[in-house]
Chain A
């Protein structure tokens, strides 16, 4: 795994870029004055081509722009078996090519600068690690010994620390918000856990290469590629799923003018209640979605009826009573949301059987529907969605709790109301986040 800064704009601050590029140029020049056949055995060349191929078919992970590349184990095995310069090439050339050839939507100049910087920092990092390894383990070929492993470990630490250092200094020069030391520690924290896996993996690759030459490498490359493809597809599915939820939650705002604060508060309260009530974990992660989307069906209801202040006629009530089913109908086709459709369909059912659409009784309604009913009612009563009910004065929290307790057994599930009161007493609802969770990553991470 290897860090790359995620913007190409930061190289506007030319300073560090020029230093890094110059240093890398010197290293490559030294390589060029000697004959290539001396320092680049054909096995390393094949590995280099493999690295280029994988790097040019990157695996975008979610929105952060993280990619999966061959990365450290390959670089390290080349470094140990064939020397530092081939390792520098294996680390540099794919990065350079991928940086320039991929992400065509960006201007060419930016891509070239960005790729140049990343390739140069790769060269520096690989060269430093290689120098460290061959200094500590001079001259002798690799054998599985304590001395070799020690050299390998130190080289890995150098690789990790220098990579994080260069990227953090570059990021600091770019936006000057945080000191490079803070960023460096942050990056080290991200990278360190993956190195625990990467170093043993490097040892395996080295042993395979030594025992079976390239056949051993291919033996490992095949499962690696397949696993990478699995990962890519899975992440793609997660992305589609997240975006579905995002879009639907945008649509909910049109269905019913909840403030988005109301929906996010309701979903967080729902999760806290569910934890208290011992809802199974796989339902727990769907509950926020259900809480946000529970009124989606109101899209299919006449807004004149929804916003009517005077009493509704029987016909209008019948129309409103359809909204849970309409919401479930929209959600039902989405594979991950199958249980959510049921909870949405039943979120207006009541323990006493007077709810709608079916008039189910206490034991027949899923607990998740009860939870949604309680948090929605509570937040509406204390004025969480003041935009939706402008004609009603918000209640205070004790008044709302008293109302919930009065309606326990008839309108709400008593156990859920009980858990709600306990959670309120334990001050669990005090620090709710009103805004949607946003993930900002300041680095582009490359997972090996």
Chain B
């Protein structure tokens, strides 16, 4: 084999290696970095609000499932996932005592807690890449009939992402402190939420959400049945 061939093969090999590095390894690493960053912010809130460990990832999981069922474009789904991980970030500005109070909140305390939507919006507006998520966070406690806060928006005025986050948030809060693998409790939570469809939740979003939990419940029962046999 002549020296030219060896050189050509060496060059080709280098190009192939660099391409694999650039097209496969680096994108995976970048994506992982991004996920870790979002997790760091989610952890920040979980450190402040006790007994909420892991709830941000649960929110993100259901938010993505709903968004997929609604057939939203992938870029929107990514935004919704990030917003679900960041939605409670405003709670770093809420006094610790109110955030972790065991007893029921007084009216004033509840008003203070409501500020977390606006604080979250303000935090996200200060950083370039999260700026477009800020309105989603601001409106994630708006109700479908206009009775929510902070702006009392109604129906389609509320960003779709916020309507999804609202459903997901309420589900996670209902499940808080309960064993998550208990299918009966999970279905009970969905049934409790069902009373509020059209009042608190967008019917379309809830229609997408219900089958997700139902499928999980079914899968689990099926799985137990099979493994017992």
Pair A299/B21 contact, Cβ less than 8 Å: no
By beta carbon, the residue of chain A nearest B50 is: A300
Q: From the candidates A230, A243, A250, A334, name the one contacting B123 in the complex (CB within 8 A).
A: A250
Pair B89/A329 contact, Cβ less than 8 Å: no
Pair B40/A334 contact, Cβ less than 8 Å: yes
What are 7 A-B contacts defined by CB distance under 8 Å?
A226-B15, A229-B23, A247-B37, A247-B123, A301-B96, A303-B96, A334-B33
Expressed in whole angstroms, the Cα–Cα distance for A202 and B34 within the complex equals: 37
Pair B26/A254 contact, Cβ less than 8 Å: no
Closest 5 CB pairs of A and B: A233-B26, A229-B22, A300-B47, A302-B96, A254-B92
Query: Using Cβ atoms and an 8 Å threshold, which residues of chain A touch B119?
Result: 254
Pair A304/B95 contact, Cβ less than 8 Å: yes
Query: Using Cβ atoms and an 8 Å threshold, which residues of chain A touch B39?
Result: 333
Expressed in whole angstroms, the Cα–Cα distance for A233 and B44 within the complex equals: 27
Contact flags (1/0) for B33-59 with A, using CB distance below 8 Å?
A: 110110111011001100000000000
Q: Does B126 contact A (CB under 8 A)?
A: yes
Query: Using Cβ atoms and an 8 Å threshold, which residues of chain B touch A251?
Result: 41, 44, 89, 92, 123
By beta carbon, the residue of chain A nearest B23 is: A229
By beta carbon, the residue of chain A nearest B19 is: A226
Query: Using Cβ atoms and an 8 Å threshold, which residues of chain A touch B14?
Result: 223
Q: Does B93 contact A (CB under 8 A)?
A: yes
Count class of interface residues, chain A: 35 or more
Pair A335/B33 contact, Cβ less than 8 Å: yes
Q: Does B1 contact A (CB under 8 A)?
A: no
Known: A240-B30, A254-B92. A330 touches B36 (CB 8 A): no
Query: Using Cβ atoms and an 8 Å threshold, which residues of chain A touch B23?
Result: 226, 229
Pair A243/B96 contact, Cβ less than 8 Å: no
Contact flags (1/0) for A330-352 with B, using CB distance below 8 Å?
A: 11011100000000000000000
Expressed in whole angstroms, the Cα–Cα distance for A293 and B29 within the complex equals: 24
Q: From the candidates B33, B96, B128, name the one contacting A63 in the complex (CB within 8 A).
A: B128
Expressed in whole angstroms, the Cα–Cα distance for A223 and B10 within the complex equals: 13
Expressed in whole angstroms, the Cα–Cα distance for A331 and B39 within the complex equals: 10
Q: Does A248 contact B (CB under 8 A)?
A: yes
Q: From the candidates B26, B48, B126, B128, name the one contacting A230 in the complex (CB within 8 A).
A: B26
A residues 204-226 in Cβ contact with B at 8 Å: 219, 222-223, 226
Query: Using Cβ atoms and an 8 Å threshold, which residues of chain A touch B27?
Result: 233
Q: Does A255 contact B (CB under 8 A)?
A: yes
Query: Using Cβ atoms and an 8 Å threshold, which residues of chain A touch B95?
Result: 303-304
Known: A251-B44, A297-B47, A299-B44. A334 touches B36 (CB 8 A): yes
Cβ distance A316 to chain B, nearest Cβ, rounded Å: 12
Q: From the candidates B22, B40, B48, B100, name the one contacting A244 in the complex (CB within 8 A).
A: B40
Cβ distance B60 to chain A, nearest Cβ, rounded Å: 15
Q: Does B18 contact A (CB under 8 A)?
A: yes
Pair A304/B18 contact, Cβ less than 8 Å: no
By beta carbon, the residue of chain A nearest B14 is: A223
By beta carbon, the residue of chain B nearest A247 is: B127
Q: Does B97 contact A (CB under 8 A)?
A: yes
Pair B18/A227 contact, Cβ less than 8 Å: yes
Cβ distance B155 to chain A, nearest Cβ, rounded Å: 27
Q: Does B129 contact A (CB under 8 A)?
A: yes
Query: Using Cβ atoms and an 8 Å threshold, which residues of chain B touch A361?
Result: none
Expressed in whole angstroms, the Cα–Cα distance for A230 and B30 within the complex equals: 11
Query: Using Cβ atoms and an 8 Å threshold, which residues of chain A touch B97?
Result: 302-304
Expressed in whole angstroms, the Cα–Cα distance for A300 and B93 within the complex equals: 11
Which of B14, B119, B129 gathers the greatest number of chain A CB atoms within 10 Å? B129
Pair A241/B96 contact, Cβ less than 8 Å: no
Which of B47, B100, B128 gathers the greatest number of chain A CB atoms within 10 Å? B47
Expressed in whole angstroms, the Cα–Cα distance for A354 and B11 within the complex equals: 60
Query: Using Cβ atoms and an 8 Å threshold, which residues of chain B touch A329?
Result: 43, 47
- Other A-B contacts than A240-B34, A254-B119, 10 sampled, CB-CB below 8 A, are A63-B128, A223-B18, A229-B22, A233-B22, A233-B30, A240-B37, A247-B127, A250-B127, A326-B47, A330-B44
Pair A247/B15 contact, Cβ less than 8 Å: no
Pair B126/A250 contact, Cβ less than 8 Å: yes
Expressed in whole angstroms, the Cα–Cα distance for A63 and B37 within the complex equals: 18
By beta carbon, the residue of chain B nearest A63 is: B128
A residues 345-393 in Cβ contact with B at 8 Å: none
Pair A296/B29 contact, Cβ less than 8 Å: no
Known: A230-B26, A300-B48, A303-B96. A333 touches B127 (CB 8 A): no
Expressed in whole angstroms, the Cα–Cα distance for A443 and B27 within the complex equals: 28
Q: Does A442 contact B (CB under 8 A)?
A: no
Expressed in whole angstroms, the Cα–Cα distance for A236 and B129 within the complex equals: 12
Q: Does A186 contact B (CB under 8 A)?
A: no
Query: Using Cβ atoms and an 8 Å threshold, which residues of chain A touch B47?
Result: 297, 299-300, 326, 329-330
Expressed in whole angstroms, the Cα–Cα distance for A243 and B97 within the complex equals: 30
Expressed in whole angstroms, the Cα–Cα distance for A254 and B115 within the complex equals: 14
Cβ distance A235 to chain B, nearest Cβ, rounded Å: 10
Expressed in whole angstroms, the Cα–Cα distance for A229 and B15 within the complex equals: 12
Expressed in whole angstroms, the Cα–Cα distance for A222 and B15 within the complex equals: 7
Expressed in whole angstroms, the Cα–Cα distance for A222 and B30 within the complex equals: 22
Contact flags (1/0) for B174-188 with A, using CB distance below 8 Å?
A: 000000000000000
Q: Does A147 contact B (CB under 8 A)?
A: no
Q: Does B130 contact A (CB under 8 A)?
A: yes
Cβ distance A336 to chain B, nearest Cβ, rounded Å: 8
Cβ distance A188 to chain B, nearest Cβ, rounded Å: 30
Cβ distance A350 to chain B, nearest Cβ, rounded Å: 24
By beta carbon, the residue of chain B nearest A248 is: B40
Q: From the candidates B44, B93, B100, name the one contacting A296 in the complex (CB within 8 A).
A: B44
